[in-house]
Amino acid sequence: MDSQTAYYLIAGALVVIGLLGTVLPVLPGLPVMFAGMLLAAWADGFRYIGATTLVVLGVLVLLSIAVDLLASIVGARRVGASNKALWGAGFGGFVGIFFGLPGLLAGPFLGAALGEVSHGKPWREASRVGFGTWVGLLLGAALKVALAFAMLAVFALALWVD
């Protein structure tokens, strides 16, 4: 196998890992996808993927980072979450990874709710905050998936048009 083929295989693996990262909170999905696309462009000497395409892909990555940071905060703040709830949602999401899909879904909710309970809120109000945080995380994940597919479309279009 020549080095260019190896670069393409690594680039493809990075793109796949990045796609997984759009739904798994531990992996920085779109930045990893961008790294794979940049590697593929470099391996080809930037013949098909040039500066304009890379700038567009970079903007999409920056947008995904903003979505990541804001989605859960906006969802939580919308229902009156405390800082403890925000930290609880992040911690619950991290712990949830180790319990598969059920943990990924329940972790942020439980973490935010327990953060509110530790802040002195009754369980009923805490669960409302947990749900609002969870909805924010879910909407953020959906936006990141959409941005990931937009990146794939931009990359494919740049390959196809040239």
Q: What is the rounded average pLDDT of the residues 30-54?
A: 95
Spatial separation of the C-alpha atoms in residues 149 and 153, rounded to whole Å:
6
Please name which of 144, 7, 153 lies closest in space to residue 69, comparing C-alpha atoms: 144
Which tokens is 6 given?
């190896």
**Which residues, 6+ apart, have CB-to-CB distance to 123 below 8 Å?**
113, 117
Q: What is the rounded average pLDDT of the residues 3-24? A: 92
Tokens of 5: 């083929």
pLDDT at 26: 67
Residue 108 has a CB neighbour count (10 Å cut-off) of: 30
pTM across the whole model:
0.78
Over residues 66-107, the pLDDT tens digits come to 887 677 677 777 888 888 888 888 888 788 878 877 887 788
| Residue 162 CB contacts under 8 Å (≥ 6 apart), including other chains | 47, 48
Three-class DSSP category at 162: coil
Q: Residue 25 — pLDDT band, cuts 50, 70, 90? A: low
Q: How far apart are CA 114 and CA 104, in angstroms?
A: 16
Instruction: Render pLDDT for 47-68 as a digit per residue (tens, 0 to 9).
Output: 999 999 999 999 999 998 888 7
- DSSP, collapsed to helix, strand or coil, labels residue 137 as helix
Average pLDDT, the chain: 88
